Structure 1
């Protein structure tokens, strides 16, 4: 429990009272989120979720993301309802700790593999999101994010791997040592050995659809009550990117691929559900989604990079995620024929 007599919670609690008409009795920081500080506020009339934006956050972009959440909700996507402040604002920025306030939703995020029921719910909701957001004017805009993603600098990536390896090896030699250092040295060496796969995978990609997406669609932003999807949370500001990226990221989610033997069946279930909700998705986008997911894993050092250069709010979780991502990349590399066959089968049936 957070003591309401200390900052910043004092200011946040005061805003909840003054600007939202709520009476917070306690404010508990939640061990989730890397880009915001999140709280559960227990109030006299029920609980609410409070998202505190970090300094330097683009609040205009975050307000746009809130509008995307509401739009998704209007088209059948299960979402949490935002509570506007007394002035009608989406985000209250009256203190140095800007916040948005949301209804408290039942359910929890899944940090293990998705069940078949959860995969169906996740696929259906993503299909609804993509169908709905495809019609937005911003979806027709050029995607600077896509151009940057396709122009990956393999030499620079290798140099970053070497830098991180040097830091980990120095810690092993002179201290202070933590249990992650030896694992980091091994996995970084393994990653460096497969960097030559990146140009081949990029060359094999067809022209892919870009549009406004959820922006961070993964199980950590899905609240499940058993197999029922209760809410899609944490939409990101509208920034067109590859549809195949967002589909592949969740269909071949690292935690599922790295920890189960039936990850291909889970991917099948999710993508089938996705196609029912978004039947107009281009075949090339579907067929390429596993390779796009693989490329993202191979070109990203997310987790291990934070460990050595800028630790996250919950670095232990990022360390574990790096290990899942690294193992998933190896598995997807070794099973490209199987994923290609699955995706061609799913598109051929339409």
Structure 2
């Protein structure tokens, strides 16, 4: 049963019925959330005033892999990482499969992703949270069943990224608007930066250490309370990848780097908090985390590529903004990389 193609309203009723019969919940209302790359997501308001979050799995999905993700969230929560609690069905199953649609039900967390640059307090709390997650996941019980990420930024032929840029420049063609001209200049600049600097950046990498990680520990999956504490980490993708890359990716958050002047201090604060919680990650990996994040970001044309190849009628404005901020981030981090790495070396001595 495919969910995302169903008529509005119809599937809300189906989800409500499954919550009543499979979970024994008294449901007052179900509402669809217009986000979700791999699942269709809903919130359910319960008659007692509480609520739950519902993930509905689409037809043809690998349910074994989804089951491992649920196990990972439970494991992380048991180790002190603030992941939402899983609500089992009446049979005690985390994935309710008695009939379609297959779904999982989670504690509802009354918080949202931050829309502001990281503050020092948020950065410290994010570093502690990610450090705790990586320290726990180094001993992940389901590690043999996780999917390794195929090599990308650390040993990929730079020609493939240049080819993507060239194809995108051809697609944009002669700019019709000032916005098109600006995006074309940004793509051309990104291409030139990558061609000039990728060989040296790659040559400066240590041997890359990999382990189970969240794999998308980024702003949309980090729910933050108004007091800058971390309410929840959601949507664990649990893949085998470099923990230092994931650290650099959140420390050098595009919105923070692109829009603030004290972003180096914010990043170093996050990394220091991470190290206090996960001192086992080798120091050369910590030192290289900015370089890893930069290399990966410079190969990505996410946002601008969607604009010209497969525009999203609902979210394209957000994607355009993300591309612009990430473009600014790569330029600023590239210019400051030597100073950042010197500071990281000094802090890890």
TM value normalised by structure 1? 0.89
Alpha-carbon deviations, 1:14-52, whole Å to 9, x = none? 211221122332222334443433222112131111123
> SS of 1:194's equivalent?
helix
- Given that residues 165 and 184 in structure 1 are in contact (C-alpha distance below 8 angstroms), is that contact kept between their aligned partners in structure 2? no
Counterparts of 2:271 and 2:256, CA distance in 1: 14
Deviation of the 1:142 alpha carbon = 11
User: For 1:87, what is the secondary structure of its paired residue?
Assistant: coil
Q: Contact 2:152 / 2:296 at 8 angstroms: preserved in 1?
A: no
Structure 2 equivalent of residue 207 of structure 1: 207
2:13 maps to 1:10: yes
Per-residue CA deviations over 1:119-176 (Å, capped at 9, x if unaligned) read 1111111111111111236658998525344332322222222222232336x55xxx
* Residue 51 of structure 2 corresponds to residue 47 of structure 1: yes
Structure 2 partner of 1:110 = 114
The answer to whether residue 69 in structure 2 is matched with residue 65 in structure 1 is yes
> Any idea what SS the aligned residue of 2:161 has?
helix
Query: Counterpart in 1 of 2:304?
Result: 304
In the superposition, relative to structure 1, how do residues 339 and 57 fare at CA in structure 2: closer, same or farther (>3 Å)? farther
Q: Counterpart in 2 of 1:150?
A: 154
Contact preservation (8 Å) 1:4, 1:13? no
Q: Which residue of 2 aligns with 1:164?
A: 168
Alpha carbons 2:23, 2:88 under 8 Å: kept: yes
Whether the aligned pair in 1 keeps the contact of 2:143 and 2:212 (CA below 8 Å) is: yes
Map of 1:188 onto structure 2: 187
- Partner SS, residue 240 of structure 1: strand
Indicate the structure whose relative CO is greater, using CA pairs within 8 Å and at least 6 residues apart.
1
In structure 2, the residue corresponding to 1:121 is in which secondary structure? Answer: helix
Distance in 1 (CA, whole Å) between partners of 2:242 and 2:77 is 22
The 3 A distance-change label for structure 1 pair 12 and 181 is farther
Contact 1:31 1:314 in 2 (8 A): no
Q: Which has the larger displacement, 224-233 or 53-62?
A: 53-62
Residue in structure 2 matched with residue 275 of structure 1 by the alignment: 275
For each residue in 1:103-125, what CA deviation from the matched residue of structure 2 results, as whole angstroms up to 9, or x when unmatched? 11122111321111111111111
Structure 1 CA distance for aligned equivalents of residues 293 and 25 of structure 2: 43
**Structure 2, unaligned runs of 5 or more:** 1-5
Match of 1:326 in 2: 327
Distance 1:5 1:16, change over 3 A: farther
Q: Deviations along 1:42-83, whole A, 9 cap, x unmatched? A: 121311111233444322112111111111111111121011
Distance in structure 2 (CA, Å) of the matches to 1:153 and 1:341: 28
SS in 2 for 1:57: coil
Rate the CA distance shift 1:307–1:52 in 2: closer, same or farther, 3 A.
farther
Q: CA 1:168 to 1:35, structure 2 compared with 1: closer, same or farther past 3 Å?
A: farther
The aligned residue for residue 20 of structure 1 is: 23
The CA RMSD measured in Å over matched residues stands at: 2.5
